Amino acid sequence: MKPTKYFSSLIVLLCLSVNAISQTTAQKIKVNGLLEEWSNLLNHKSTGSFYEFYNDQKNLYVALKFTDDAYIKKVIAGGLTLSINTNGKRNIKEAYQIKFSPIEDYRTTRQFTSSPTKIDSSTLAHRQQVLTKIKELQLINFTQIPDSIISIYNTYGIKLGAKADEKGNLNYELSIPLEQLKLSGDIKTEIAINIQFNAVDVNRRANTNNNRGGAGGMGGGGNRNGGGQGGGGNRNGGQGNNDLIYSAANDFWDKYKTQ
């Protein structure tokens, strides 16, 4: 093959590949917790978490998958905090925050367990059922919305989908209108996003009315592909004593450039 023909063929192949990628990421996302549209989830290894961000002209989307038994229990009994700093700084105080309340008492949650390779039917049924209890979100620092607790069926355009898949992993999908974050779909902006596993009070019953968010001190920052900085844990969270994991908040950061 002549060089000119070779390079022409290569350019065509590259164009086809780029087009395929853009079609995958640009498809309309259904916020239902199934994560069917997400094909490039990043792995934060030390917490067994997978995550990805995406935006279109109207919304910012966040996909989260939790696979580690200990951290799944922590999400259920302690809740999560998602923080978005639209200035691109790793600074929580300046960030928009969405808190997911504890769903269930820790003493109930800890009865259910799994291993990295197997999950029993009762644990799977428990995880599928417990996510249906999520009814509210707590908003902090949203300039157009007063700091408040809102229904997941709200008029602000914030949507949440949560499901447990057939392996017992917890899947969360969230969409937030760009206008609520004072972002524009026409301007590329680098933002910093923090995912925090809130602390669990392992000694008393979680009260979702008085302990919303359940946050403790900030843990170490994480990074793409793990890095082990976002908190301890093991892939076999149901074994041994994980109270140290549960009793302190821990988190990880990443950055995303809107498109």
0.85 surpassed by pTM: no
What pLDDT is recorded for position 2? 53
Task: Tell me which of 8-17, 31-40, 53-62, 158-167 is least confident.
Answer: 8-17
Tokens 């949203």, located at residue: 142
**Start-end of H helices in the chain:** 3-26, 69-78, 106-109, 121-130, 243-247
What pLDDT is recorded for position 115? 82
Mean pLDDT of 20-39: 74
- How sure is the predictor about 1, in pLDDT bands with cuts at 50, 70 and 90? low
What pLDDT is recorded for position 204? 54
What pLDDT is recorded for position 211? 42
Q: What percent of the chain has pLDDT over 90?
A: 66
What pLDDT is recorded for position 32? 97
pLDDT tops 60 at residue 104 = yes
Mean pLDDT of 56-76: 97
- Pick the closest to residue 52 from 184, 227, 173 (CA basis): 173
pLDDT tops 50 at residue 223 = no
Q: Are 68 and 50 in contact (CB under 8 A)?
A: no
pLDDT tops 50 at residue 85 = yes
Cα separation values, 175 from 31, 52, 204, 247, Å: 7, 12, 33, 29
Q: Which two tokens stand for residue 64?
A: 């989260």
What pLDDT is recorded for position 235? 40
Q: Which two tokens stand for residue 38?
A: 């997400």
Task: Tell me which of 144-158, 174-188, 200-214, 220-234 is least confident.
Answer: 220-234
Exposed/middle/buried for residue 32 (C-beta within 10 Å: 0-12, 13-18, 19+): middle
pLDDT tops 90 at residue 224 = no
Q: Which of residues 194 and 231 earns the better pLDDT score?
A: 194
Mean pLDDT of 78-96: 97
- How sure is the predictor about 242, in pLDDT bands with cuts at 50, 70 and 90? confident
